[in-house]
Amino acid sequence: MQRFTGLLGLVVILAVAWLFSAHKRAIKLRIVLWGVGLQVAFALLVLKTDFGKVFQAIGTGAGSAR
Instruction: Give the residue-averaged pLDDT of 7-31.
Output: 92
Contacts for 10 with CB less than 8 Å, ≥ 6 apart:
36, 39
Instruction: Give the residue-averaged pLDDT of 11-24.
Output: 93
Residue 65 scores a pLDDT above 70? no
Domain that holds residue 34: 25-66
Residue 57 forms part of a structural domain: yes
Q: How many domains does the chain have?
A: 1
Residue 30 forms part of a structural domain: yes
Contacts for 4 with CB less than 8 Å, ≥ 6 apart:
none
Residue 47 scores a pLDDT above 70? yes
Residue 46 burial class via C-beta count within 10 angstroms: exposed 0-12, middle 13-18, buried 19 and up: middle
Indicate the pTM of the whole model.
0.66
Instruction: Give the residue-averaged pLDDT of 21-45.
Output: 92
